[in-house]
Amino acid sequence: MTTQKIFYEDSYRAVFKAKVISCEVHEAGYQLRLNQTAFYPEGGGQPTDRGWIDGAKVSHVFIKEDIIYHSVDRHFKEGEEVEGVIDFERRLDLMQQHSGEHIVSGLIKKLYGYQNVGFHLSETYMTADLSGELTKEEIKHVEYLANEAIFKNIKVTAALYHQEEIKDRDYRSKIAIEGAIRLVSIQDYDVCACCGTHVKTTGEIGSIKIVGADKHKGGMRLTVLCGRRALQDSVKKQEAITRVSQLLSAKPTLVAEEVEKLLETLAGLKQKLNARTDELFELKASAYTIQEEKVLCVIEEDLSTEEIRKLCMAMTKRTDKTCLVLTPEAEGVKYALGAQSTDIRVLCKELNKAFNGRGGGAKEICQGTLTGTSREIIQRIQNQ
Ligand SMILES: [Zn+2]
């Protein structure tokens, strides 16, 4: 005997009575079978419902050969009368996303001819994979019209048809279906073969926001938020924009222009700083003196990898000797090693080996990191 599906008769029924057909022990608890249920089993891209049956938690619901199984955490007796309560806030959220997806996919097919070839509905977002790419303007247009469909508050209907009855009808379908086909229709917006649950009227979707559009497998993946999810996203973004607007002392609608100006200023400052750093390194390099030591060694705090290299190169221009620049870090030391006339890679290899380091480079200059202290490294290099 198959399970009677209350969620198809009424997708808003959150509480129902049923009779236990069987309850079998399973790895993670029990698998409960009822004569009828309002719990939607995972399928068609829509996640499982959750809730309670006589107080026992329902963590997962699935369908196999038209029989629905509820994963519960306690045993039920065969023939027992039970009351099921689905987590309706969660179900409504899933229905809002699912119906919203139908409107978006239907509009895209109608306007641009692309199919929805993949639908994923998770606890936090929903994605629709399209067979082609849309421009930014087209996405905006789809979002606008999808919200128009919400304002019109039109009916969402579902009905079962025999294949023959609808063979000439144009409807969306991801897979070839055998037997009767359940079509979900949203007036002029969409007709789609679907086994999921939907809101009764489009107004209940609340709002539709397309928050992501990425190239995906020759087409495009849209990330869509509906209902409360769209509102929560908007609240978060509003908070972020308000913060940035306060930091920049700019109107919220003008923060992008202000950030562009800041980035331009920053690029100019970086350029200036680089020129000054080069000058400073030239001055430093000319001030270092060397007596009888084999290697000109200097320790400089807080230099970046790029700066270490620059300073070392400025030094090697002024002496025939090997030059070493060290910058101590939280763990170990960053180094640059250079020379005008010898292949410095040989010494670099020796240092790496002696101080468990890594790095390398060209004949004239090498860079890397070493473990050990600056003093130990200098001692070793001067005495080799
Ligand atoms: Zn669907």
- pLDDT tops 90 at residue 293: no
Alpha carbon of 98 to ligand 1 centroid (Å): 6
Query: Mean pLDDT across the chain, nearest whole number?
Result: 95
Q: How confident is the model at residue 28 (pLDDT cuts 50, 70, 90)?
A: confident
Helix or strand holding residue 13 (H, E): none
pLDDT band for position 33 (cuts 50, 70, 90): very high
Q: Give the percent of the chain with pLDDT over 70.
A: 100
Query: Average pLDDT in the 46-51 region?
Result: 96
Q: What is the mean pLDDT of residues 58-65?
A: 96
How far apart are the CA of 375 and the centre of ligand 1, in A?
A: 69
Residue 174 pLDDT level (bands cut at 50, 70, 90): confident
4-86 shares its CATH topology with 92-242: no
CB 114 within 8 A of CB 222: no
**DSSP string for 33-49:** EESEE-PPPSBTTBPPP
Residue 376: helix, strand or coil by DSSP?
A: helix
Given pLDDT bands bounded at 50, 70 and 90, which one contains residue 214? Answer: very high
**Rounded Cα–Cα distance for residues 336 and 316 (Å):** 11
pLDDT of residue 176 exceeding 90, the answer is no
Q: What is the dihedral of CA 278, 280, 286, 288, to 10 degrees?
A: -120
The first and second tokens of residue 40, run together, are 């939607």
Closest CA to 131 of 222, 210, 192, 254: 222
Tell me how far the alpha carbon of residue 237 lies from the centroid of ligand 1, in angstroms: 29
pTM of the model: 0.82
Domain ranges of the chain: 4-86, 92-242, 276-383
Per-residue pLDDT at 8:
95
**Running DSSP on this structure, what letter comes out for residue 20?**
E
Question: What tokens does 291 get?
Answer: 């007596």
Q: Predicted confidence band at 351 (pLDDT cuts at 50, 70, 90)?
A: very high
Q: How far apart are CA 368 and CA 175, in angstroms?
A: 56
Q: What is the pLDDT of residue 177?
A: 72
CA 326–ligand 1 middle distance (angstroms) = 63
Q: Report the C-alpha gap between 57 and 51 in whole angstroms.
A: 6
CA of 119 to the centre of ligand 1 (A): 8
Average pLDDT over residues 160-177: 87
pLDDT at site 289: 83
- The Å distance, Cα 256 to ligand 1 centre, comes to 38
What value does the mean pLDDT take over residues 247-265?
96
The rounded Å distance from CA 350 to ligand 1 centre is 65
What is the 368 CA–ligand 1 centroid distance (Å)? 56
Does 372 or 176 have the greater pLDDT score? Answer: 372
Task: Write the DSSP symbol of residue 65.
Answer: T
Mean local confidence (pLDDT), 158-173: 91
Indicate whether 119 pLDDT > 80: yes
Digit-coded pLDDT (tens) for 229-244: 999 999 999 999 999 9
The CATH T-level fold of domain 4-86 is Elongation Factor Tu (Ef-tu); domain 3 (2.40.30)
Distances (CA, A) of 162 to 71, 174, 182, 190, 197: 33, 18, 9, 19, 20
How many A from CA of 202 to the centre of ligand 1?
Answer: 14
Q: Stretch 320-334: mean pLDDT, rounded?
A: 95
pLDDT at 290: 75
Give me 38's structure tokens.
Answer: 């309002």
Region 45-56: what's the mean pLDDT?
A: 96
* Residue 341 exposure: Cα atoms within 13 Å on the Cβ side: 4
**Angular region, 249: left φ>0, alpha ψ -120 to 50, beta rest:** left
User: How far does the centroid of ligand 1 lie from the alpha carbon of residue 116, in Å?
Assistant: 10
Q: How far is the CA of 158 from the centre of ligand 1 (A)?
A: 11
Compute the distance from residue 84 Cα to the ligand 1 centre, in Å: 25
pLDDT at position 1, please? 86
Cα 167 to ligand 1 centroid, rounded to whole Å? 19
pLDDT band at 248 (very low <50, low <70, confident <90, very high): very high
Architecture of domain 92-242: 2-Layer Sandwich (3.30)
Question: What pLDDT, on a 0 to 100 scale, did the predictor assign at position 299?
Answer: 96
332 three-class SS: coil
Q: Any idea which architecture 276-383 has in CATH? A: Roll (3.10)
Ligand 1 centroid, distance to 71 Cα (angstroms):
24
DSSP at 303: -
